[in-house]
Structure 1
Amino acid sequence: MELQNLLKVCRNIILIYVSKSPRKLILLYCIYSKEWIKKLKRGLDVRYNLISDVGAYHAAKLLQKQYNLIYINLMFNDIGPKGGELIAKALHKDTTLKYLRMTGNKIENKGGMFFAAMLQINSTLEKLDLGDCDLGMQSVIAFATVLTQNQTIKGITLNRPILYGEQDESTVHLGHMLKENHWLAELHMSKHDVKNCGLKHLCDALYLNRSLRYLDVSCNKITHDGMVFLAAVLKSNTTLEVIDLSFNRLENAGAKNLSETLTSHNRSLKALSVVSCSIEGEGLVALSQSMKTNPILSNIYIWGNKFDEATCMAYAGLIQMGRLKPDNTDVEPFVVDGHVYLAEVSNGLKKHYYWTPTYGNALCHSSNAGFSLVPVGQQL
């Protein structure tokens, strides 16, 4: 009854957030709020609960009633394929929702197919997150196919699908989609098993694409050979502003390829993340040098690589001269016995993707720089 009483007296709420609460409490909210949510609320955030397919049924009912919800966060709620089907079908007629997070719900290939079908009909949704949902090859290809025609979706997350085979088939289809799609601004393909060949297909598409601003290919199998293709396309592509290459094996050769392009050609990229990319001092220093001649590159994230004294001196110098702002990188210099070292700070492109702190500003720009630089969809 506590939540029911709260809802009666709170008349100006724009976002309801319920964390780690019993399933009955979540269902109480879903049922009770139907009568007045259309006048009072804009967002519903029930992440990290256990509403399961039963709660998904009530969430679908909310969407079917055409309430003024523009944001729903259902991430990690034990929703399966059936619940995914219910929500996807409810979005066929919805005309208000702009941002849906289904992250971590195992809707699998079957549920993914229903969401792909929904995108053929829905003309309102701008941002969809299906990361860690156990999507299959079939559903990923279906999304790539649908997005060649969909003109509404501006950002989509397809992280960690369950793929089999070594041919980069899904990446080939997504590359073809980028050639045809001129509206998508944000694409997340983390943990997608992308290799150098797959990255080449994406880069070939980026010669033609003029809408994509944020490309996330972190946690893949890309090496320094793949950086040859990316460095080449960055010489002519003037749209990409944020690239996340974290947790790939770029090494010094890959970092130097990027630094050469950033030094002499590219003047559009604003943020680059090469966290934990097996880069040593030579490559890291090369990237720091590119910042001295490139006035547009403002954010760089390098933690998890192999720092030597030259690296520490280079980035400490950038920070001290004001070229690299402390909020725009994930390292901070300190001195011990006359030697400069770098410590990690909690800044990054998407530090709060899976969690948000219980203190301070959960949407802090320094911790979520990617979403700040490319504000796609409704950010609540």
Structure 2
Amino acid sequence: MSTTENVYTGALQAPAPFNSIGVKVDSYGQQEISPNSRWKIKSKKRVSFPLEEQIVSGSAEPWNPWKADACVTVEEIISSYKLSCKKLGVQPIHKLLTQLQEITETHHRMKCLDLQGEMLDYESCEALEEIFKRIQFKTINLEWTKMDEDGASALFNMMEYYDSTFCLSISFTKNIGRRGWKAAAQLIQKSSSLQEFKASGIPMMERPASCVARGLKLNYHLRVLRLDRARLSGRPLMLLVSALKMNQMLQELYLADNNLNSVQDSMYLRDLLEVNSAIQLLDLKNNCIFNTGLEDICEGLKRQKQGLKTLILWNNKLTHKGMIPLAAILPNLTYLETLNLGRNRLSDEGVQSLKEGLIANQSVTRLGLASTAITCEGAIAAAEFIAESTRILRLDLRRNRIGTGGLMALTLATKLNHSLVQMDLEKGPVVEKEDWLIETQKQLLLTIAEHCKRNSIGKRTKPGEKRDEAM
């Protein structure tokens, strides 16, 4: 038998054990130092698993970052803030101290934290954490503040972590920078309280727009987004629309003064309206939509089964030709309640084109035709709509040259109508120069106001009781 076979035919023996300090004990009680003991000491290890029902031993609620300070006093908050400012080498913000001193209780959200126009560098923002971790707010106003990129990033991260506000305005605040916008996107996406975000007056180039879009894609809380005067035309608007196609929470979108055009921008808006049924208010005033752009918007509205309730097209270079596609879809729009076409040269022909569509429509309650270059003829067309309507609540005809004939038609229409509670007209007579016509106009204006008041009393509301921003 070979040597190899002799090795494997012998009886198997367990290796001599080592004690806890690396010393081997043989079968005769002799100890031998392990050759590896001077580098490594081996110990006996065992792995065992608990029974299935014993794996989870308990649970805990997520930590509330302000709960520990629920009973802190205003004096303690001010003291902590001042101490933090001292450590960071900055002066406390006087406006902030004044607001803190007016607080009477800290366990409810405060109405507003107003830091408008303040200088907020990184250290000043870091000191504000002593406030945010103890007090929450309904509104935080950072408009026109002078922030740098580091300060903006730190501040937005704090607001997201401490769930600081329902409404945040950073309008007209420049130099937010890349990291600042990334933190703003995180705030929009993750804050469970933030419902309104205002960033008007800030050039929304491609990078900031992509950050805001990223935050909007997975947002489940934001209801209002204001991006007026943000230079959104072109690719920034495309990025925003792409995100809002996936967002079904945003209800109000303000895009005024963005120089939106009728070439690409109106098509982006058409695509948005076709897909998104959550947006209820779209403010497009002071843009360059033109008649061709309005056609695109009408195409988007035509495909909506529910959605937009307020459409503001004030000052978009529209004419009477643009009213033809709008009038065509009005009978089928069962959700649109407010339509503002003011500051466009619609002329009498434009109101006449709208008339049949408005009469067939059963949802519009507020119609804005201020500064639309209409005269008595256009007023008569509007009067025909009023006489037929059972839903119209307000009609704005200010800054038009409506003479005695038009006022007579409006007076008769308001007499027949029982829904209109407010008609906005010039306060004094216009056009006419003869005294008896001027007196007639004054009387007609009073009669129209009395008819609206009669309807208002019947509805138990007061005309002009609530300011209507859409008009």
TM-score by length of 1: 0.79
Structure 1 SS opposite 2:162: coil
Q: What secondary structure is seen at the aligned counterpart in 2 of 1:215?
A: strand
Q: Match for residue 173 of structure 2?
A: 77
Comparing 85-94 with 121-130, greater Cα deviation is found at: 85-94
Q: How does 1:101-250 map to 2 (within 5 A)?
A: 101-162=198-259, 167-209=262-304, 210-250=306-346
> 2:374 aligns to what?
279
Q: CA deviation at 1:294?
A: 0.1
**Separation in 2 of the partners of 1:272 and 1:266?**
12
- Distance of aligned partners of 1:307 and 1:31 in 2 relative to their CA distance in 1, 3 Å threshold: farther
Q: Counterparts of 1:77 and 1:123 in 2: how far apart (Å)?
A: 26
**Cα–Cα, structure 1 residues 99 and 204, in superposed 2: closer, same or farther, change >3 Å?**
same
| Residue 101 (structure 1) shift | 1.3
Q: How many residues align?
A: 344
**Matched residue type, 1:10:** T
Go from structure 1 to structure 2 and tell me whether the alpha carbon gap of 1:2 and 1:278 turns closer, same or farther (over 3 Å shift): closer
Question: What is the SS of the residue equivalent to 1:128?
Answer: strand
- SS of the residue 2:361 aligns to: coil
- Larger mean Cα displacement after TM superposition, 201-210 or 1-10: 1-10
- Correspondence list, 1:239-318, <5 A: 239-263=335-359, 265-315=360-410
Query: CA–CA distance in 1 between the matches of 2:335 and 2:419?
Result: 22
1:19-38 Cα offsets, whole Å, 9 max, x none, are 75543699699544212223
Structure 1 equivalent of residue 425 of structure 2 = 331
Secondary structure of residue in 2 paired with 1:151:
coil
CA apart distance, 1:255: 0.7
Which SS does the other structure have where 1:340 is aligned? helix
TM-score by length of structure 2 reads 0.65
Residue 97 of structure 2: aligned partner: 4
AA aligned opposite 2:201: G
Contact 1:316 1:333 in 2 (8 A): no
Distance 1:334 1:161 in 2: 35
Contact map agreement 2:351 2:382 (CA 8 A) in 1: yes
Paired residues for 1:92-103 under 5 Å: 92-103=189-200
SS at 1:111 equivalent:
helix
Matched AA of 1:93? K
Q: d(CA) in 2 for partners of 1:52 and 1:309?
A: 57
Contact 1:42 1:71 in 2 (8 A): yes
Q: Residues 172-228 of structure 1, C-alpha deviation per residue, up to 9 Å, x if partnerless?
A: 121122111122211122233112122112112212211111112222122111111
Q: Which residue is 2:114 aligned to?
A: 18
Q: Percent of pairs identical after alignment?
A: 20
What does the per-residue CA deviation read over 1:345-380, in whole Å, with 9 as the maximum and x for residues that have no partner? Answer: xxxxxxxxxxxxxxxxxxx75432549xxxxxxxxx
C-alpha separation between the residues in 2 aligned to 1:228 and 1:191?
21
- Cα 1:226–1:64 change in 2 (3 A) is same
Once the two structures are superposed, residues 135-169 of structure 1 have per-residue CA deviations (whole angstroms, 9 ceiling, x without a partner) of 23101112222222211111211222255xx7521
Matches of 1:29 and 1:325 in 2, distance apart? Answer: 54
Secondary structure of the 1:156 match is: strand
Mapped to 1, the partners of 2:332 and 2:127 lie a distance apart of 51
How large is the RMSD of aligned CA atoms in angstroms? Answer: 3.1
- Aligned partners of 1:46, 1:325: CA distance in 2, in Å? 40
Report if aligned partners of 1:175, 1:205 keep a CA contact under 8 Å in 2.
yes
Letter in 1 for 2:284: M
Tell me the alpha carbon deviations over residues 243-263 of structure 1, each in whole angstroms, 9 at most, x when there is no partner.
121222211111112122222
Q: Which letter maps to 2:140? A: L
1:75 Cα deviation from its structure 2 partner: 2.6
Work out whether residues 216 and 244 of structure 1, in 8 Å CA contact, stay in contact via their aligned partners in 2.
yes
Q: Which amino acid aligns with 1:158?
A: L
Matching of residue 368 in structure 1 with residue 468 in structure 2: yes
**Residues 1:311 and 1:73: Cα distance change in structure 2 (over 3 Å):** farther
2:135 to 37, 44, 47: 37
Q: Output the CA distance in 2 between the equivalents of 1:273 and 1:188.
A: 13
CA contact (8 A) 1:242 1:272 kept: yes
Q: Which residue of 2 aligns with 1:358?
A: none
CA distance in 2, matches of 1:122, 1:68: 17
Q: Structure 1: how far apart are the matches of 2:377 and 2:155?
A: 52
SS across alignment from 2:383: helix
Looking at structure 2, the residues matched to 2 and 206 of structure 1 have their Cα atoms a distance apart, in angstroms, of 47
Q: Give the Cα separation in 2 of the matches to 1:266 and 1:77.
A: 43
| Native 8 Å contact 2:329 2:357 kept in 1 | no
Asked if 2 retains the 8 angstrom alpha-carbon contact of 1:274 and 1:301, the reply is yes
**Structure 2, gaps ≥5 residues long:** 1-93, 430-434, 446-463
Flag the 1:56–1:314 CA change in 2: closer, same or farther, 3 A: farther
SS of the residue 2:402 aligns to: coil
